[in-house]
Amino acid sequence: MENVIVIRYGELYLKGKNRAFFERLLIKNIKYKLKKFDCELEVGRSRYLVKNYAPVQENEIIAALGTVFGIHSMSIAVCVPNDYETLEKHVISTAPASGTFRVSVNRGDKRYPINSITLSAKLGEAILRANSNLSVDLHNPRNTVWVDVRENGTAYIYCKIIDGLGGMPVGSAGRGLLLLSGGIDSPVAGYMMAKRGMSFDVLHFHSYPYTSEQAKNKVMKLASILKDYCGKIRMYSISATKIQEAIHKCCSDSYMITILRRFMMRLAEKTAQKLECGCIINGESLGQVASQTLESITVTNDTVKTMPVFRPLIGMDKQEIINISEKMGTYETSILPYEDCCTVFLPESPVTRPTIAKTKEEENKILNYNELLSEAFDNLELVKIF
Ligand code: ATP
Ligand code: MG
């Protein structure tokens, strides 16, 4: 008797003619995760099996598959000979201890002498005889005992379902540019887009020497955690120091963040074009801070002309964002207390209802604005490929 891991996929079912494309990507992403284990992946219709792995690695394999978008759920199944007596013995040991259940038989081998309905009923009766704490509920059971009768004289039996991440396979929805700060929100924004199948590169703005090496390392750490979910990530950085000094010197204090964010968005668009990313992704959430009111977003969004800006957290509460950040494993790093460039020269009362006209008026006070923009872009640096 050996164990196998059954992998099921979710929303791909909905895909018509394109389904093969999504499946190929999902299989590729699963194989990539399984590379470090000694095991086999068997690809079947609508579900896959991980076989021939060392039992001590089972939990690690499940954890690795738990980072793959596109997997709906997994089960650990026992693989046994499919003669009736053996099946009976193993459904009894797999069944839950109490509550309602049903047996669901899938006969991959149609030559098997007992048909699915009869086999389900017989196995169900056997389970009931062995455990009087159980009762059958065919329509809404708390547990299902699955029996998958295979062609090669074996069967898989399982009961527990382990949730996968759901979503779509990464790589199926194009590539974006994620603006990654050291905060809680932007890693979650990347994760949410990856969940819909998007891969991305990362751009970080630093204000060295006002921001430290530790602040940069923190962002690198966040990118390396994101990589577990999103595949290859190229991390770039740009210095925002000179523009911040210029804004501080020339512009009204309350417009500091608004003007800085417009500068960042212009650079993000140029960088995305250069890297052939089709959109910008950021971690803004409506009303969370002064720079994320409708008016502020209107003013910063105004600078981006050639691509959409995706804000997957726009309608989420902070606590919801924190919950995801804890689940994905970035929270502990995000709360380390290193400064971000947006916190350098922080104004006492940032404007919450800026207008485009007034912002442009302030921006125009920086006479060498375009030079600063070109210079910053010229210094775009590839930090690391994760
Ligand atoms: P976060 O927790 O992601 O830092 P926040 O709530 O602190 O977000 P802001 O500082 O206003 O909000 O930033 C909003 C978004 O702008 C961030 O989610 C991120 O996408 C982007 N951003 C902010 N600072 C930087 C930075 N230094 N480098 C790259 N992107 C940034
Ligand atoms: Mg921030």
Residues whose CB is under 5 A from ligand 2 (ion)?
Answer: 181, 183, 340
Gap from CA of 341 to ligand 1 centroid (Å):
9
Q: Which ligand gives the minimal distance to the CA of 186?
A: 1
277/103 Cα distance (integer angstroms): 49
Q: How far is the CA of 259 from the centre of ligand 1 (A)?
A: 14
Give the 3-state secondary structure of residue 251: coil
Q: Angle of helix 318-328 relative to helix 185-195, nearest 10 degrees?
A: 70
Count CB neighbours of 244 within 10 A.
Answer: 21
Ligand nearest to the CA of 341: 1
- Would you write out the chain's pLDDT as a tens digit for each of its 386 residues? 799 999 999 777 677 788 889 999 999 999 999 999 999 999 987 789 999 999 999 999 999 999 999 999 999 999 999 999 999 999 999 999 999 999 999 998 889 999 999 999 999 999 999 999 999 999 999 999 999 998 889 999 999 999 999 999 999 999 999 999 999 999 999 999 999 999 999 999 999 999 999 999 999 999 999 999 999 999 999 999 999 999 999 999 999 999 999 999 999 999 999 999 999 999 999 999 889 999 999 999 999 999 999 999 999 999 999 999 999 999 999 999 988 877 778 888 999 999 999 999 999 999 999 999 999 999 999 999 99
Q: Are 164 and 65 in contact (CB under 8 A)?
A: yes
Which ligand 1 atom lies nearest to the CA of residue 188? 3
* CA pair distance 172, 27, nearest whole angstrom: 12
Determine the pLDDT at residue 13.
66
| Residue 216, token pair as written in the block | 């940069």
- Helix runs in the chain, H state only: 19-34, 58-65, 84-94, 116-130, 185-195, 213-230, 241-250, 256-275, 294-301, 318-328, 331-334, 356-363, 369-378
Which domains occur in the chain, in start order? 2-163 (3.30.2130.30), 175-385 (3.40.50.620)
pTM as predicted = 0.94
> What ligand 1 atom has the least distance to the C-alpha of 178?
20
Atom nearest to 283 CA in ligand 1: 18
Say whether 177 sits in a helix, a strand or coil.
strand
Q: For residue 245, how far is its CA from the centre of ligand 1 (angstroms)?
A: 19
Residues recorded for the chain: 386
204's tokens: 């970080």
